[in-house]
Amino acid sequence: MLVLVVSDNHGDREVLVDLIEKYQGKVDGMFHCGDSELEATDSVWNDFYVVRGNCDYDDAFPTTVVADIKKEKIFMTHGHLHEVKFTMNTLLLAAKEVGAGFAFFGHTHELGVELVDDVLLLNPGSIRLPRGKYPIKTYAIVETTSEKITVKYYDETHQLVSELTSEFKR
Protein backbone atom coordinates (compact mmCIF):
# COMPACT_ATOMS: atom_id res chain seq x y z
CA MET A 1 0.00 0.00 0.00
CA LEU A 2 1.15 3.52 -0.78
CA VAL A 3 -0.94 6.43 0.50
CA LEU A 4 -0.62 10.18 0.97
CA VAL A 5 -1.84 11.82 4.19
CA VAL A 6 -2.33 15.59 4.58
CA SER A 7 -4.15 17.81 7.04
CA ASP A 8 -4.98 21.31 8.17
CA ASN A 9 -4.53 23.35 4.97
CA HIS A 10 -6.96 25.96 6.38
CA GLY A 11 -8.33 27.42 3.16
CA ASP A 12 -5.32 26.87 0.91
CA ARG A 13 -6.95 24.98 -1.96
CA GLU A 14 -3.94 25.28 -4.26
CA VAL A 15 -1.74 23.13 -2.04
CA LEU A 16 -4.26 20.29 -2.45
CA VAL A 17 -4.42 20.80 -6.22
CA ASP A 18 -0.61 20.60 -6.26
CA LEU A 19 -0.68 17.31 -4.34
CA ILE A 20 -3.27 15.89 -6.73
CA GLU A 21 -1.18 16.88 -9.75
CA LYS A 22 1.93 15.27 -8.24
CA TYR A 23 0.43 12.07 -6.81
CA GLN A 24 -2.76 11.22 -8.73
CA GLY A 25 -2.33 7.74 -10.18
CA LYS A 26 0.91 7.21 -8.22
CA VAL A 27 -0.60 6.38 -4.82
CA ASP A 28 -3.35 3.99 -3.79
CA GLY A 29 -5.22 6.68 -1.88
CA MET A 30 -5.07 10.27 -0.66
CA PHE A 31 -6.33 11.12 2.83
CA HIS A 32 -7.19 14.56 4.23
CA CYS A 33 -7.54 14.68 8.02
CA GLY A 34 -9.74 17.78 8.16
CA ASP A 35 -9.65 21.54 8.65
CA SER A 36 -9.57 22.31 4.95
CA GLU A 37 -12.13 25.11 5.35
CA LEU A 38 -13.40 24.20 1.86
CA GLU A 39 -16.92 23.17 0.86
CA ALA A 40 -17.70 19.46 0.84
CA THR A 41 -18.84 19.83 -2.78
CA ASP A 42 -15.46 21.17 -3.95
CA SER A 43 -14.14 19.08 -6.85
CA VAL A 44 -10.79 18.68 -5.10
CA TRP A 45 -12.44 16.04 -2.89
CA ASN A 46 -13.00 13.76 -5.89
CA ASP A 47 -9.45 12.55 -5.26
CA PHE A 48 -9.44 12.37 -1.44
CA TYR A 49 -10.90 10.54 1.48
CA VAL A 50 -11.75 13.48 3.73
CA VAL A 51 -13.15 14.16 7.21
CA ARG A 52 -14.57 17.20 8.94
CA GLY A 53 -12.34 19.16 11.30
CA ASN A 54 -13.29 21.61 14.02
CA CYS A 55 -12.79 24.54 11.58
CA ASP A 56 -14.87 22.94 8.80
CA TYR A 57 -18.38 24.36 8.88
CA ASP A 58 -19.83 22.22 6.09
CA ASP A 59 -21.54 19.39 7.96
CA ALA A 60 -21.65 17.27 4.81
CA PHE A 61 -18.15 16.02 5.69
CA PRO A 62 -18.12 12.83 7.77
CA THR A 63 -16.38 12.97 11.16
CA THR A 64 -14.68 9.61 10.56
CA VAL A 65 -13.76 7.50 7.56
CA VAL A 66 -12.83 3.82 7.45
CA ALA A 67 -11.15 2.74 4.22
CA ASP A 68 -9.78 -0.56 2.97
CA ILE A 69 -6.76 -0.11 0.70
CA LYS A 70 -4.74 -3.07 -0.57
CA LYS A 71 -5.86 -5.28 2.35
CA GLU A 72 -5.02 -2.58 4.92
CA LYS A 73 -7.75 -0.97 7.03
CA ILE A 74 -7.42 2.75 7.79
CA PHE A 75 -9.36 4.75 10.35
CA MET A 76 -9.27 8.53 9.86
CA THR A 77 -10.63 11.42 11.90
CA HIS A 78 -9.60 15.00 12.58
CA GLY A 79 -8.82 14.31 16.21
CA HIS A 80 -10.68 16.98 18.16
CA LEU A 81 -13.50 14.54 18.96
CA HIS A 82 -10.91 11.98 20.14
CA GLU A 83 -9.05 14.43 22.40
CA VAL A 84 -5.71 13.96 20.62
CA LYS A 85 -4.21 17.03 22.28
CA PHE A 86 -4.35 15.13 25.58
CA THR A 87 -4.18 11.40 24.84
CA MET A 88 -3.88 8.89 22.00
CA ASN A 89 -5.95 6.29 23.88
CA THR A 90 -9.35 7.37 22.53
CA LEU A 91 -8.02 7.39 18.96
CA LEU A 92 -6.33 4.03 19.45
CA LEU A 93 -9.52 2.46 20.80
CA ALA A 94 -11.59 3.87 17.92
CA ALA A 95 -9.17 2.38 15.39
CA LYS A 96 -9.15 -0.98 17.15
CA GLU A 97 -12.96 -0.99 17.34
CA VAL A 98 -13.16 -1.11 13.54
CA GLY A 99 -10.17 -3.43 13.15
CA ALA A 100 -7.90 -0.78 11.63
CA GLY A 101 -4.12 -1.05 11.59
CA PHE A 102 -3.78 2.67 10.85
CA ALA A 103 -5.23 5.77 12.49
CA PHE A 104 -4.70 9.04 10.61
CA PHE A 105 -5.50 12.33 12.35
CA GLY A 106 -4.68 16.04 12.37
CA HIS A 107 -5.90 18.87 14.64
CA THR A 108 -2.69 19.53 16.61
CA HIS A 109 -0.69 20.75 13.58
CA GLU A 110 2.22 18.73 15.02
CA LEU A 111 3.59 15.89 12.93
CA GLY A 112 4.16 12.59 14.63
CA VAL A 113 4.01 8.85 14.18
CA GLU A 114 4.12 5.90 16.54
CA LEU A 115 3.15 2.24 16.50
CA VAL A 116 1.00 1.30 19.51
CA ASP A 117 -0.54 -2.16 19.93
CA ASP A 118 -0.09 -2.86 16.20
CA VAL A 119 -1.88 0.37 15.19
CA LEU A 120 0.10 3.08 13.40
CA LEU A 121 -0.97 6.47 14.78
CA LEU A 122 -0.04 9.16 12.25
CA ASN A 123 -0.37 12.92 12.20
CA PRO A 124 1.00 14.37 8.94
CA GLY A 125 1.43 17.80 10.53
CA SER A 126 -0.09 20.87 8.91
CA ILE A 127 0.56 21.72 5.27
CA ARG A 128 -0.14 25.38 6.08
CA LEU A 129 0.29 26.25 9.79
CA PRO A 130 2.80 23.86 11.41
CA ARG A 131 3.40 23.81 15.16
CA GLY A 132 5.65 21.98 17.56
CA LYS A 133 9.24 20.82 17.38
CA TYR A 134 9.28 20.77 13.56
CA PRO A 135 7.86 24.05 12.18
CA ILE A 136 7.84 22.65 8.63
CA LYS A 137 4.76 22.55 6.39
CA THR A 138 4.41 18.80 5.83
CA TYR A 139 2.45 15.88 4.47
CA ALA A 140 3.23 12.17 4.81
CA ILE A 141 3.59 9.20 2.51
CA VAL A 142 2.93 5.79 4.07
CA GLU A 143 4.22 2.67 2.35
CA THR A 144 3.61 -0.87 3.54
CA THR A 145 5.09 -4.22 2.68
CA SER A 146 4.57 -7.56 4.39
CA GLU A 147 7.70 -6.88 6.49
CA LYS A 148 7.50 -3.18 7.37
CA ILE A 149 5.70 0.16 7.39
CA THR A 150 7.66 3.21 6.20
CA VAL A 151 6.52 6.77 6.86
CA LYS A 152 8.20 9.63 5.02
CA TYR A 153 7.46 13.30 5.56
CA TYR A 154 7.73 15.82 2.73
CA ASP A 155 7.64 19.60 2.83
CA GLU A 156 5.31 21.76 0.75
CA THR A 157 7.83 21.78 -2.13
CA HIS A 158 7.81 17.94 -2.15
CA GLN A 159 11.30 17.65 -0.71
CA LEU A 160 11.88 14.68 1.57
CA VAL A 161 12.57 15.65 5.19
CA SER A 162 14.82 12.62 5.65
CA GLU A 163 15.44 13.00 9.39
CA LEU A 164 11.71 12.43 9.96
CA THR A 165 11.56 9.06 8.15
CA SER A 166 10.34 6.20 10.36
CA GLU A 167 10.23 2.44 9.80
CA PHE A 168 8.28 -0.08 11.81
CA LYS A 169 8.62 -3.87 11.58
CA ARG A 170 5.42 -5.82 11.16
Task: Compute how many other C-beta atoms are within 10 angstroms of the C-beta atom of residue 2.
Answer: 15
Sheet architecture: strand order including 64-69 = 64-69, 72-77, 102-104, 119-123, 112-116
Domain count, the chain: 1
**Quick one: average pLDDT of 94-123?**
98
Domain span at residue 158? 2-169
CA nearest 94: which of 115, 72, 121?
Answer: 121
Phi, psi of 29 (to 5 degrees): -175, 155
Rounded to whole angstroms, how far apart are CA atoms 39 and 131? 25
pLDDT at residue 86, as a whole number? 94
Using CB atoms within 10 Å of the CB of residue 129, give its burial: 0 to 12 exposed, 13 to 18 middle, 19+ buried: middle
Phi, psi of 120 (to 5 degrees): -85, 115
Q: What tens digit of pLDDT does each residue of 132-168 get?
A: 999 999 999 999 999 999 999 999 999 999 999 999 9
- State what percent of residues in the chain have pLDDT above 90: 98
> Which residues make beta-bridge pairs with 149?
144, 168
Q: What tens digit of pLDDT does each residue of 15-70 get?
A: 999 999 999 999 999 999 999 999 999 999 999 999 999 999 999 999 999 999 99
Question: What pTM was estimated for this model as a whole?
Answer: 0.97
**Quick one: average pLDDT of 107-129?**
98
Q: What is the CATH number of the domain that holds 8?
A: 3.60.21.10
